[in-house]
């Protein structure tokens, strides 16, 4: 009789754990559309990649003598990485904004972390320094926006 009681108690505890875990994070999975260097849309819901800030689409990087479209490159890098893969975004429960803040994954890889590590986005505010070390490494390695323009993207000032 005693083993049955333990199993019932274990099942009850697991059920309680599962409902608490489910309530703590909303997950959405699907094929993503890239909106910007730090925003994805899945099934009509827009997600901001939490903890990162991508360069705006129209921004350029480099010097006055040699600049390049790093904002466009950031969006292109995200689009190439995401491709037509299934993406899962995990939203925090306190997030009720029209654009939800989330950590998104392509398989086991955090897209948020990948964008910063590859140099296509900055770690967000110092208060949310989860990706700060990744940004430091990207800067040190001169990846993405921290490096020189790829040859195909180099342009002279005044060139559209």
Q: What is the pLDDT, as a whole number, of residue 77?
A: 95
Q: What is the pLDDT, as a whole number, of residue 84?
A: 84
Give the global pTM: 0.76
* Residue spans per domain, the chain: 24-154
Q: Would you tell me which CATH number, out of the four given (3.40.50.150, 1.10.3720.10, 1.20.1090.10, 2.40.50.90), belongs to the domain 24-154? A: 2.40.50.90
Higher pLDDT, 44 or 1: 44
Q: What is the DSSP string of 89-153?
A: EEE-TT--SSSEEEEEEETTEEHHHHHHHTTSEEE--GGGGGGHHHHHHHHHHT-GGGSPPPGGG
Least confident of 39-43, 106-110, 148-152, 155-159: 155-159
């Amino acid at each position: 009789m005693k083993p049955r009681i333990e199993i019932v108690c274990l099942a009850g505890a697991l059920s309680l754990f599962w409902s608490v875990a489910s309530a703590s994070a909303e997950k959405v999975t699907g094929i993503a559309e890239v909106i910007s260097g730090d925003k994805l849309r899945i099934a009509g819901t827009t997600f901001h990649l939490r903890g990162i800030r991508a360069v705006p689409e129209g921004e350029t990087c480099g010097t006055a003598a040699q600049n390049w479209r790093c904002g466009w490159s950031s969006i292109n890098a995200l689009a190439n990485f995401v491709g037509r893969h299934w993406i899962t975004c995990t939203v925090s429960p306190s997030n009720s904004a029209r654009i939800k803040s989330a950590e998104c994954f392509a398989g086991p890889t955090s897209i948020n972390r990948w964008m910063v590590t590859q140099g296509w986005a900055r770690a967000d505010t110092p208060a949310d320094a989860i990706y700060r070390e990744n940004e430091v490494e990207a800067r040190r390695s001169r990846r993405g926006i921290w490096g020189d323009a790829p040859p195909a993207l180099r342009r002279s000032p005044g060139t559209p």
